[in-house]
Amino acid sequence: MVAPPSGKRIAFGMGTDPCRLPCASPSSRSALAHGNQNLETAPRRPRPYLLRLLFALVLFAVPAAAAQAVARMPIGFYDDPSFRWTPQTSANLASAEAAHASIIHALVDWATVAPTKPAHPLSGDDPAYRLSDIDTLVASAQRYDLRVLLTISGSPAWANGGKTPNHPPTNLNELTQFAHMLASRYNGSHPGLGAVTLFSIWNEPNLGLFLTPQYRGDKIVSPAEYAKLFLAAYKGIKAGDPVALVAAGETSNRGRQRPSGNPGEDSVAPATFARLLAEVAPRLPFAAWATHPYPSDFIFGPTQKVAFPNVSFSTMTEFGQSLQEWFHRPVPIWITEYAEMTKPQCACGVSYAKQALDARKVLQLAAANPYVQMFIWFILRDSTAQTWSSGIENTSGQKKPAYTAFASAAASIAGKSQLVRPNRTFSVTLAVPFLAYHDPPGTTVAITYTLQSGGTVVASGERSEPTQRDENVTFPVVFRPSAGQIYSINVQVVDKNGQTEQHVIELLPTKPTPPPLTISTSAPLEATAGNLLTVHVSLHEPSAVTGRSSVCLTPPARVGARICTSLPDQQVRHGLLSLTLHIWIKPNAPHGTSKLSISAASGPGRATAKALVHITAASR
């Protein structure tokens, strides 16, 4: 048995039966999942195949702005007890693979991995570190064609002034060093340790249960605290492995908009958290936003309607559009947790039949959403009374009906999608963890591919290419796609010993880049201090868009305050839009000429303009 290191705060265990708590709070699911039993305040409320379908690094470069659902995406499971701390680890990984999983999500609890301060923090071999179970998982996952996503969370007491793990470290460089150590240890350069190129930072930072404070007085401060945590960890990860992708967020599905009076129970709605994060760090360099869209009660399932800024599948598209607007770029969404507990294991669970129906439905919703590019189910196999009974297998490994439903739906979804430009040749990058398990980086493998359109073979080829240290292999495709056409590629990769992987990749057409927005204003602008300035703005947007639109006027601070107005979609879909805005000029505004900045956003389009305003004194 691969046991948790001595002293580990067992993930999925607070010493409380989750089914004895009121049902379905994401905060208690997270506490059970990650073992944070020592936080300031516990929550009061309770989360044989024909072709192996894999994904590759390129998948995560599919722009969300494409506004089309990706045909295939990585599908996986998050279940540390079943994949790290049980004698059945190999059987559980094999079962995940058979259900068409290609990714395993795992927690790296900094407070548990480093309970005492390491003398050599950049060396994973420092005796202060307890990494044996993570080492085993990363190496074993390759054997079953599975990649690993690691989430770094929770500060050790020695790093945060002797406080509980939901307090940030007092010296952010210590988090940077820890992240650097992890990324370097698993960058594929160390034989026997495997490779990890997917990371995310902090679990549910919009909950006081995992990051405190959320508020100072009535002001929301957790996004600013999180920005510092993310940048510190990102810096370390990129130092250890420059090709690694780092996701932000890992946000809980819902939250409050004001303090509760108890810091351990404070929370911020996920979309509010993301919006405020964009205000303090608009250029935060994350690869995707990870989120956990659980229903507020399992009986509601994945189709539950919630009010934005809470996030479920009913608001997922609005969330994706908003992320793009707030961060001024396409933002893929990774669903890194979703699940439903079952009866009779848990009184607050759903029936086996409903779990099966909802498992199929949630995968269909993920595949249909234009922003979602990953889906992970929380728990493969039920473990103990201290864990969630949301597995698609029971404690003995017997499959619940949801296993068949999940595997069936995943078969047509799991894998990789890639955008290709019309009339241009392209390259494909595939993850080959199974071959990486058997062959060192640099091993030459034989690649055979057949490209189809509507069942008709339109191209084929053979290549010999070396494997890369990050488990990938890249090869060029000698073919020029037609505009607007969807293709699929069947790929076989074989090493010198006859070890074989087969892949199916969907090639999606890129959409033409919309013409940029253009802005014109009335000129010249004349204003009087202490009075309203009227500005007539014309917004020219030739192509129809689906994103929310806004126009903002930003004067110098000594002249006036910034104002913004949001526009319904239908107002900007017809080419030319004229609108009038009013901005108050401060009584003590300096006389003379000032610059007024005008910005507009409409779906993927953005524009800025400058206007000169001549300010005169008010007549007496």
Q: What is the mean pLDDT of the chain?
A: 84
Q: Is residue 8 part of a domain?
A: no
- Give the pLDDT confidence score for residue 2 in this predicted structure: 36
Does residue 266 carry a pLDDT above 60? yes
Return the higher-pLDDT residue of 466 and 521.
466
What phi and psi values does residue 277 have, to the nearest 5 degrees?
Answer: -65, -40
Each residue of 490-518: b (16+ CB within 10 Å) or e? bbbbebeeeeebbbbbbbbbbeeebeebe
With bands split at pLDDT 50, 70 and 90, how would you rate the model's confidence at 559?
confident
Tell me how far apart the alpha carbons of residues 197 and 103 are, in angstroms, rounded to a whole number: 11
Same domain, 412 and 453: no
Return the higher-pLDDT residue of 28 and 401.
401
Identify the weakest region by mean pLDDT among 152-161, 384-393, 476-485, 529-538.
529-538
Any bridge partners for residue 158, and if so which? none
Q: Is residue 24 part of a domain?
A: yes
Does residue 60 carry a pLDDT above 50? no
Same domain, 363 and 433: no
Q: What is the DSSP letter of 169?
A: P
Domain count for the chain, please give it: 3
Does residue 511 carry a pLDDT above 80? no
- In angstroms, the first-to-last Cα distance of the chain is 87
Q: Give me the CATH number covering residue 278.
A: 3.20.20.80
Tell me how far apart the alpha carbons of residues 612 and 259 are, in angstroms, rounded to a whole number: 43
- With H, G, I as helix, E, B as strand and everything else as coil, classify residue 407: helix
Same domain, 302 and 437: no
- Give the pLDDT confidence score for residue 562 in this predicted structure: 77
Q: What is the mean pLDDT of residues 569-590?
A: 68
- The answer to whether the CB of 539 falls within 8 A of the CB of 519 is yes
**pLDDT tens figures, 44-58:** 223 323 333 333 333
- The answer to whether the CB of 416 falls within 8 A of the CB of 59 is yes
- Give the pLDDT confidence score for residue 137 in this predicted structure: 98
Residue 309 token pair? 């800024």
Q: What string of H, E and C letters represents the secondary structure of 102-134? A: CEEEEEEEHHHHCCCCCCCCCCCCCCCCCCHHH
Same domain, 154 and 59: yes
The number of residues in the chain equals: 620
Domain boundary among 358, 382, 416: 416
Same domain, 562 and 505: no
Q: Is residue 399 part of a domain?
A: yes
Single pTM value for the model: 0.79
Q: Give me the CATH number covering residue 503.
A: 2.60.40.10
**pLDDT tens figures, 89-120:** 999 999 999 999 999 999 999 999 999 999 99
Domain boundary among 480, 509, 538: 509
Q: Is residue 563 part of a domain?
A: yes
Q: What is the mean pLDDT of residues 195-217?
A: 97
* Percent of the chain whose pLDDT exceeds 90: 62
Residue 359 token pair? 């498992």
Same domain, 432 and 399: no
Which range of residues forms the domain containing residue 503? 421-509
Does residue 578 carry a pLDDT above 80? no
Same domain, 460 and 530: no
- The H or E element containing residue 521 is strand 518-521
**pLDDT tens figures, 398-456:** 999 999 999 999 998 988 888 898 999 999 999 999 999 999 999 999 999 999 998 89
Identify the weakest region by mean pLDDT among 382-386, 457-461, 607-611.
607-611
Same domain, 231 and 309: yes
